[in-house]
Structure 1
Amino acid sequence: MGGGPAVWRSGGVGWSGGSAGLRWWGGRVSPVGYGLPLAFRAVGGRACAGARSNACPVGAAVPARSTGGLCPDCARLDRAHSVAADTFADDPRPYRVYLAWFGAGTVKVGITGEHRGDARLREQGAVAFCWLGRGPLMAARRTEEVLRQALGVPDRVSYERKRALRVGLPDAGARAAEIEELYGRALGVGGWGDTLEALPCTAYDHGELFGLGALPPLDGTVTELVEGGVVTGRVLAAAGPDLHLRDPGGRHLVLDGRLLGGWGLERCGPDDAWSVPVGGAPATGGQEGLF
């Protein structure tokens, strides 16, 4: 995981070609394999990754618990050029509206650029999903809001809830049935079909891709990396930015890959003791939407 005197700085966890990998500044990717060991030490402090493929002009430090991995100035620049900021209303490219399923009774509606395919769904850890419609950006944005209100589903699901729901998932058939039921309800909502092309219902499933067969109860989540802190264990699964690990003590822990961004990481041995802070496991209660 690196070599020579230079520190390899992490770009977090990403998805490419249908598999998860550890990204590095400069573009390299180290594949993540389920059942294989993962062992590294955080070194060299945590630095801002910069925005829009540009280096941070001041090389700012980033707080260890930040999931953004950017200093405030770079975060503002990055946000200003995002689809969510609605700053490119005249974008001529087509967009798609989707339903993303994260666990029983927990579905969100969202949009993504058609040119990105289903990358956005992998990045946010959607266990299953279906497309609803396609069309111009602002029509897709309006449809997203109309359906969110009409169906009583949220526009976001917290990562804490997603992690809790991955343990004890219903089977793929039940996941597809829930997606198909909500798709049918969405088609019954008037208005949006006038501005978007409705797409046929096909339920796609990421359960096998993510390695979510039968995860054991979750024992905790990493809260931050620290200078010299060690993460070591075997990879059980990966979903969105999250790596599910079995540590040497037998605990099932989640490492949010967004916490890695900007840290220098160096290889350590499997016998090195785990030494980064771990918080409690998320609770499964507390429905976030009406659905």
Structure 2
Amino acid sequence: MTWRCTGIRWNDGLPAIGWCAEGRGERSSPLVYGQRLAFAALGERHCLGVRRAGKRTPCPTAATVPGRAGNAQCPECARLDRSFSVAADTNAADPRTYRVYLAWFGPEMVKVGITAEERGPARLLEQGAVTWTWLGRGPLMATRRTEELLRAALGVPDRIAYARKRAVRGHLPAAADRAREVGELHARAAALPGWPESLERLECEIADHAGPFGLDGLPAPARVLTAMVPGGAVVGRLAGAAGPDLHLADGLVVDSRLLAGWELVAPDADATTAVPVAELPPLAAPGGQDGLF
């Protein structure tokens, strides 16, 4: 039975590596900061199929997926996934209650988004939000309208590239400073006219993920995994995790989305890291938020 990696899963505020096997369901392996990580890719990377309502449907053709792809799905499964998706605006009839949030990832990197209320802060952990607060709650379409209103009025985007998020994690301002920035934006948002009547506004209650992410003392990211390859190995000590990223003590960042779809096994005892990586560019000074990303 082959268990394939599904990437990081955040359970009750703690990171874990997810696994799935056809006919066996899913499981996870908790991650502990300071532990030694050592794994190697075996065979080929395969499509993970479609996961919906907590159940995964295997890819009917067991298609292979390129090692550099950020999504471990073949084109057909990806299309099926997006055909009934809130994120892709193809499931507008979702009856669940949703929440609008304001998320801070670094200086001048703030976004507005929505998530199902039943998921709690899981979406914020998955995205790597360092500091955040709720803005409101209500039906899906009301939260969507609020999201668009706030994006336009505050000049913030609905997404920020992971490359930008990870580049600043070793150089973050103090918790009080980032909380103040989020609090000021919440106040500006609350003062705006035009909020849908069906949306309940929520008071500013700032949360910080420095603890769950292990950000205190996190080494500055220096290199990032660009692909897994057959036989490629990663060996190091886990210093922290944020969103889909595993931060190792030697400055290597492992984007766990690139691990998804692989069978990962223990490498040889004397193995060292041997995978394609790229150097991270020098950290640029903040220069105004780019609305495109």
User: 1:39–1:270: 8 Å Cα contact kept in structure 2?
Assistant: no
Q: Which residue of 2 aligns with 1:265?
A: 264
* Shift in alpha-carbon separation, 1:203–1:190, aligned structure 2, 3 A: same
Deviates more, 1:118-127 or 1:213-222: 213-222
State how far apart, in whole Å, the 1-side matches of 2:103 and 2:2 are: 37
State how far apart, in whole Å, the 2-side matches of 1:110 and 1:270 are: 44
* Shift in alpha-carbon separation, 1:84–1:235, aligned structure 2, 3 A: same
- Give deviations 1:154-208, integer Å, cap 9, x for gaps: 1101000000121111121112111100000001111115231100100001011
State how far apart, in whole Å, the 2-side matches of 1:265 and 1:96 are: 36
Aligned letter for 1:267? A
Matched, 1:176 2:171: no
TM-score (ref. length: structure 2): 0.92
* Shift in alpha-carbon separation, 1:203–1:269, aligned structure 2, 3 A: farther
User: 2:169–2:220: 8 Å Cα contact kept in structure 1?
Assistant: no
Aligned letter for 2:30? P
Q: CA RMSD in A?
A: 1.4
How far did 1:237 drift?
Answer: 0.4
Q: Which of 128, 141, 144 is the aligned partner of 2:147?
A: 144
Look up the SS of the partner of 1:39 in the other structure: strand
Aligned letter for 1:19? L
User: 2:49–2:77: 8 Å Cα contact kept in structure 1?
Assistant: yes
User: 2:9–2:18: 8 Å Cα contact kept in structure 1?
Assistant: yes
* Shift in alpha-carbon separation, 1:138–1:283, aligned structure 2, 3 A: farther
State how far apart, in whole Å, the 2-side matches of 1:274 and 1:56 are: 31
Aligned letter for 1:20? P
How far did 1:119 drift?
Answer: 0.6
Deviates more, 1:180-189 or 1:168-177: 168-177
Q: Which residue of 1 aligns with 2:95?
A: 92
Aligned letter for 2:186? Y
Percent identity between the aligned chains? 54
State how far apart, in whole Å, the 2-side matches of 1:70 and 1:147 are: 32
Matched, 1:79 2:82: yes
Q: Which residue of 2 aligns with 1:20?
A: 15
Deviates more, 1:56-65 or 1:74-83: 74-83
How far did 1:222 drift?
Answer: 0.3
How far did 1:9 drift?
Answer: 1.2
- Give deviations 1:220-258, integer Å, cap 9, x for gaps: 100000000010000010001100012xxxx30100010
**Superposed counterparts of 1:189-228, under 5 Å:** 189-228=192-231
User: 2:142–2:199: 8 Å Cα contact kept in structure 1?
Assistant: yes
State how far apart, in whole Å, the 2-side matches of 1:244 and 1:209 are: 13
User: 2:245–2:254: 8 Å Cα contact kept in structure 1?
Assistant: yes
Aligned letter for 1:185? R
Q: Which of 159, 167, 172 is the aligned partner of 2:170?
A: 167
How far did 1:215 drift?
Answer: 2.0
State how far apart, in whole Å, the 2-side matches of 1:106 and 1:29 are: 31
Look up the SS of the partner of 2:26 in the other structure: coil
State how far apart, in whole Å, the 1-side matches of 2:137 and 2:32 are: 34
State how far apart, in whole Å, the 1-side matches of 2:87 and 2:251 are: 34
State how far apart, in whole Å, the 1-side matches of 2:148 and 2:2 are: 44
Q: Which of 118, 125, 130 is the aligned partner of 2:128?
A: 125
- Give deviations 1:251-275, integer Å, cap 9, x for gaps: 3010001001110100125631211
**Superposed counterparts of 1:37-76, under 5 Å:** 37-52=36-51, 53-76=56-79
User: 1:9–1:24: 8 Å Cα contact kept in structure 2?
Assistant: yes
Aligned letter for 1:163? R
Aligned letter for 2:201? A
How far did 1:88 drift?
Answer: 2.2
Look up the SS of the partner of 2:171 in the other structure: coil
User: 2:133–2:182: 8 Å Cα contact kept in structure 1?
Assistant: yes
- Give deviations 1:112-140, integer Å, cap 9, x for gaps: 01111111000111011100001110111
* Shift in alpha-carbon separation, 1:8–1:89, aligned structure 2, 3 A: closer
- Give deviations 1:57-107, integer Å, cap 9, x for gaps: 000000101111000000011112221122222222111000001012211
Deviates more, 1:167-176 or 1:127-136: 167-176
Look up the SS of the partner of 2:7 in the other structure: strand
Aligned letter for 2:222? D
Aligned letter for 1:10? C
Deviates more, 1:186-195 or 1:112-121: 186-195
